[in-house]
Amino acid sequence: MDHETAVRELMTERYLLHELNPAEQDAFEEHFFECMECGDDVRAGSTFVAYSRGELTEVPQAAPAVSGRKSSPAGWRNWLRPAFAAPLLAGLLAIIAYQNVIYRKTQARLTQAQVLPWASVAVGTWSGEKPSITVSQDQGFVLFVRIPTSGAFTRFTAELYSPAGKLESSLTIPAAAGQDEFPVLVPAANRVPGEYRMLVHGITAAGNSQEIGRTSFQLQVRP
């Protein structure tokens, strides 16, 4: 949806009055989070609606008569009391709408087939040329992790560390006879570019842990 269509079809007014059908609402919500002018109109309209509802449902208190003074117009002070709450309510409405847009986009990505960025890493090759992965913001990727295996371990744990050395995620990989490469899906997150490290431990049937090796890769993030 473009801005001219939104203005011509009075989308802001119809949105605030809940007169849009689901398809129109989805299209307009996606538009006004990218259009500064429509976004301002929605926030201003939400403020007015929230403010008006508060005023219409409140019964003004009659001001006591003061001898020798002319009474003020009835109820004018009531217009000032909820002023601090109106922007908060409008902000909450905008946040809810934004979350709905993000949720629908995320659901669409999860239900559509897609090819994710990927790289192969071998545990134990800490130095040397590092594989590189390029992702968009909030995009996941796949690591094909090669682990030197032995019959002593029933499972492995893999820990992923950010360039700052912070533990980002940890997962358990079941050991399988004859398999030494495991696909690991790294979920989408707001990551920074740089060198990421992975530390792998082998776990025995008795629960004993032993470090098997480490590996690393370079992550490039497109704006």
Same domain for 100 and 146?
no
Asked if 18 and 88 sit in the same domain, the reply is yes
Claim to verify: residue 24 and residue 51 sit in the same structural domain = yes
- Examine residue 67 and state whether it is found in any structural domain, yes or no: no
101's enclosing H/E stretch is helix 85-111
122 with 193, same domain?
A: yes
Q: Say yes or no: 194 and 126 in one domain.
A: yes
* Owning domain of residue 165: 118-222
If asked whether residues 123 and 165 sit together in one domain, one would say yes
Amino acid 25: pLDDT? 86
The pTM of this model reads: 0.52
How far is it, in rounded angstroms, from Cα 90 to Cα 42?
9
pLDDT-derived band at 100 (thresholds 50, 70, 90) equals low
The stretch 165-174 carries a mean pLDDT of: 93
- pLDDT for 104 equals 59
Number of domains in the chain: 2
The reply to whether 212 and 130 lie within a common domain is: yes
pLDDT of 121 higher than 90: yes
Question: DSSP per residue over 163-218, as a string?
Answer: TTS-EEEEEEEE--TT--EEEEEE----PPSEEEEEEEEEE-TT--EEEEEEEEEE
CATH at residue 218: 2.60.40.1930
9 and 98 housed in the same domain = yes
Which span out of 146-155, 174-183, 197-206 was modeled with the highest average pLDDT? Answer: 197-206
For residue 79, give Cα distances in angstroms to 83, 85, 140, 202: 7, 12, 50, 68
The answer to whether residues 136 and 105 belong to one domain is no
Same structural domain, 10 and 101: yes
Q: Beta strand 155-161 with 167-174: parallel, antiparallel or unpaired?
A: antiparallel
